[in-house]
Amino acid sequence: MLKGVDPVLTGELLKVLDEMGHGDTLLLVDRNYPAHASGKPVIHLGDITQTRAAEAILSVFPLDTFVERPLERMEVDDDPSIVVEVQDEVLEVARAGHEKPLEYGIVPRLEFYERAKGVYAVVKTLESRPYGCFILQKGVVFD
C-alpha cells in the first residue's frame, strides 16, 4: 500500500497511467465488454463499479482540456438520447475534477469497438450494469 494513493490503483495500473502521454486514450469497460479483443494490455480491477474505478483513475489522470470531449461513452441501443445511471455517475465524477464544463462524447457501439483498437490500455471491472464503457483521453499536467 502507498500513502495518499487510492488503493484501487494497482501498481500495474499506476505504471500504465504514468506511461501514457498527452492525447493517449484509456478504455474503462464493464464485465460484458470483450476487453482482450482490442489486443491492448488489459488491467483487471475486480469487483468494483465503474464509478469507483473512475474516482480512482481520475484522482491521478488528467482529462484533456484541449479537446471538447475528453470523456466518451458507448451509445445505448443506437439512441444517443438514452443515458443510463452508470454513465451519469461517471460523468459526475469526471466533472468534479475537470477545470472546464464537461459533457460526454457519444460513440455508437460498433464504432466504440473499432476505436478500442487504438487505445493505450484497457481497464476492466466486474461492473454488472450494461453500457458502462468509456474512453478517457489523457491531458497535460501543468504543475
Is residue 34 in some structural domain?
yes
Q: Which of 22, 36, 44, 98 is catalytic?
A: 22
Task: Flag whether 63 is in a domain.
Answer: yes
Residue 142's pLDDT is 82
50 touches 127 (CB < 8 A): yes
| Parallel/antiparallel/unpaired status of strands 121-125 and 25-29 | parallel
pLDDT, average across residues 100-117? 96
Residue 4 lies in a domain: no
pLDDT of residue 8: 96
Looking at the domain assignment, is residue 5 inside a domain?
no
Tell me whether residue 6 is in a domain.
Answer: no
Active site residue 36: no
d(CA 114, CA 101): 27
Predicted local confidence at residue 125, as pLDDT: 98
Rounded to the nearest integer, the mean pLDDT of the chain is 96
- Helices and strands per DSSP (H, E), number in the chain: 4, 6
Q: Cell numbers for 38, please give them.
A: 482490442
Res 2 pLDDT > 90:
no
Is residue 1 domain-resident?
no
How confident is the model at residue 55, as a pLDDT? 98
**What is the enclosing helix (H) or strand (E) of 105?**
strand 105-107
Q: Can you read off the three cell numbers belonging to residue 84?
A: 443510463
Does residue 11 fall inside a structural domain? Answer: no
pLDDT tens-digit series, residues 24-66 = 999 999 999 999 999 999 999 999 999 999 999 999 999 999 9
C-alpha cell at 59: 484522482
pTM: 0.96
Which residue segment(s) compose the domain that 121 sits in?
22-137
User: In CATH, what number is assigned to the domain containing residue 41?
Assistant: 3.40.1650.10
- In this prediction, residue 99 carries a pLDDT of 87
Number of domains in the chain: 1
Does residue 76 belong to any structural domain of this protein?
yes
Q: What is the mean pLDDT of residues 87-95?
A: 98
> pLDDT (tens digit, 9 = 90+) per residue, 60-85?
999 999 999 999 999 999 999 999 99
